[in-house]
Amino acid sequence: MDRLGINRGMSPDYIIVGLGNPGPKYENTRSNIGFKVIDYLNNDSMMNFGCRKAKHSSLTDKCVLEDNVVLYLKPQMYISNSGMAVEDALDYYRMKSKQLVVIHDDLLLPSGCFEIVKGGDMSAHKGLSSIVEYLGKDDFIRIKVGVGLKPEECELSRYVLEIIPEDEYKKISSKFPSIRDAFTYMFYYGLEESIRIFNPLGMENSCDK
């Protein structure tokens, strides 16, 4: 498909949301890894429409990723209210939850791992719980990014708001290109094929061995 004639007014094929908290205080914390992945994908997109602007209570950019128009969304309210922004964007473009991909931190995956899932139990993650509450559905795609297993003695709320150590962040961010490749597979070959290829039990792209 020829994308040269694309314009800012075109509706997205997918909305890709990165979860996190706004403001410099939280920028490099474990909870904000979704924002970091969005920044990488946005900068790496084949065609970027330019200015990042505030819309849907979020920072947004509309780009082309593997012949799909995507709207990148970074909600600018606290993560526990993320569902408000997601619902607003989906309603505005009259899109369904199956066209939504949410990228978020995961404390059950080691640093240097990611996993692609659809649906599943999201009650332990405040941002995901908010999205399910607002949408009334849990059938959207998720990219779980491992930010390190929580030490047993550390409180969850404290751990997710810790700054990621530099060496650990290098391990996590080294997988950002593989996450982008997973989108390529997903868009061209479907979700199940992407899961087969990129999840930890598949090829080694998604997890350090």
In degrees and rounded to multiples of 5, residue 95 shows phi and psi of -105, 160
Distance between CA atoms of residues 106 and 87, nearest Å: 22
CA 209 distance to own-chain centroid: 23
Q: What is the pLDDT of residue 8?
A: 55
DSSP-assigned letters across all residues of 145-179: EE--PPPTTS-HHHHHTSBPPHHHHHHHHTTHHHH
Half-sphere exposure of 141 (CA within 13 A, CB side): 21
Q: In the numeric block, which tokens belong to residue 171?
A: 């391990």
Q: What is the pLDDT of residue 89?
A: 95
Q: What is the pLDDT of residue 55?
A: 81
31-67 confidence digits (pLDDT tens): 999 999 999 988 865 444 444 567 888 888 888 877 8
Torsion over CA: 115, 116, 122, 128 (sign): positive
Instruction: Report yes or no: 126 and 160 within 8 Å, Cβ to Cβ.
Output: no
Q: In the numeric block, which tokens belong to residue 80?
A: 């526990």
Q: What is the pLDDT of residue 57?
A: 86
DSSP-based three-state secondary structure for 140: coil
Q: What is the pLDDT of residue 10?
A: 76
Q: In the numeric block, which tokens belong to residue 159?
A: 């751990």
92-151 confidence digits (pLDDT tens): 999 999 999 999 999 888 898 999 999 888 778 999 999 999 999 999 999 999 998 878
Q: What is the pLDDT of residue 52?
A: 59
Which 8-state DSSP code applies to residue 79? G
pLDDT-derived band at 159 (thresholds 50, 70, 90) equals: confident
Q: What is the pLDDT of residue 166?
A: 94
Which has more confidence, 52 or 163? 163
- 199, 182, 27, 31: which is closest to 106 by C-alpha? 31
